Structure 1
Amino acid sequence: MPDRTERLRTALVTGGAQGLGLSMAAALSDVGYRVCLSDLTDEALTESGRSLRTTRPQADVLTVACDVTDDGAVDMLMGKVRDWADGSLDVLVNNAGIIARSPTQDLDTETWARTLDVNLSGSFRCARAAHPLLRGGIAPTVINLGSLGSTLGMPQRAAYNAAKTGLVGLTRTLAAEWGPDGIRVNAVAPGFIETSMMRSGFQKGLLDEEQMKRRIPLRRLGEPAEISAAVLFLASPAASYVNGVVLPVDGGTVVDGTFF
Structure 2
Amino acid sequence: MSYTSIFKPHLLAGQVIVVTGGGSGIGRCTAHELAALGAHVVLIGRAIDKLHRVAGEIVAQGGRVSFHPCDIRQEEAVQTTVTAIVVAQGRINGLVNNAGGQYITPLESISAKGWEAVINTNLTGGFLMARECYLQSMQAHGGSIVNIVADIWGSMPSMGHSGAARAGMVSLTETAAAEWAHSGVRVNAVAPGYIASSGMDHYPPEAGPMLREMRHTVPLGRFGTESETSAAIVFLLSEAANFISGATLRVDGARPQVRMGWPMQRPDADALQRDAIKPFDGFHLAATPRVFQE
TM-score (norm 2): 0.81
Structure 2 counterpart of 1:213, from 191, 215, 221: 215
Alignment match, 1:28 = 34
Closer, same or farther: CA 153–249 of 1 in aligned 2, 3 Å: same
TM-superposed deviation, 1:81: 0.9
* Gap runs ≥5 in structure 1: 1-5
Distance 1:184 1:206 in 2: 38
| Contact 2:86–2:137 (Cα < 8 Å) also in 1 | yes
**1:119-145 residue CA offsets vs partner (Å, 9 max, x unmatched):** 1000000011111312344x5100000
Structure 1 counterpart of 2:144, from 138, 141, 146: 141
Alignment match, 2:240 = 238
Alignment match, 1:96 = 99
Alignment match, 2:74 = 70
Distance 2:199 2:74 in 1: 25
**% identical equivalent positions:** 31
**1:50-86 residue CA offsets vs partner (Å, 9 max, x unmatched):** 11111x21x1101100000111110111011101211
Distance 1:104 1:27 in 2: 37
Across the aligned residues of Structure 1 and Structure 2, the Cα RMSD in angstroms comes to: 1.7
Aligned to 2:100, the other structure's residue is in SS state: coil
**AA aligned opposite 1:177:** E
TM-score (norm 1): 0.91
Distance 1:254 1:32 in 2: 35
Aligned to 1:155, the other structure's residue is in SS state: coil
**AA aligned opposite 1:78:** V
- 2:50 matches 1:44: yes
Alignment match, 2:292 = none
1:51-200 residue pairs with structure 2 within 5 A?
51-54=57-60, 56-57=61-62, 59-86=63-90, 88-131=91-134, 132-137=136-141, 140-149=143-152, 151-199=153-201
**AA aligned opposite 1:62:** S
| Contact 2:138–2:183 (Cα < 8 Å) also in 1 | no
Distance 2:101 2:233 in 1: 20
Alignment match, 1:256 = 258
| Contact 1:89–1:136 (Cα < 8 Å) also in 2 | no
Closer, same or farther: CA 27–7 of 1 in aligned 2, 3 Å: closer
* Gap runs ≥5 in structure 2: 1-11, 263-294
The count of corresponding residues between Structure 1 and Structure 2 is 249
Alignment match, 1:3 = none
Distance 1:256 1:143 in 2: 27
Closer, same or farther: CA 238–7 of 1 in aligned 2, 3 Å: closer
Aligned to 1:148, the other structure's residue is in SS state: coil
**AA aligned opposite 1:46:** H
Distance 2:212 2:200 in 1: 13
| Contact 2:13–2:39 (Cα < 8 Å) also in 1 | no
Closer, same or farther: CA 69–124 of 1 in aligned 2, 3 Å: same
Please, which moves more after superposition, 209-218 or 171-180? 209-218
Alignment match, 2:14 = 8
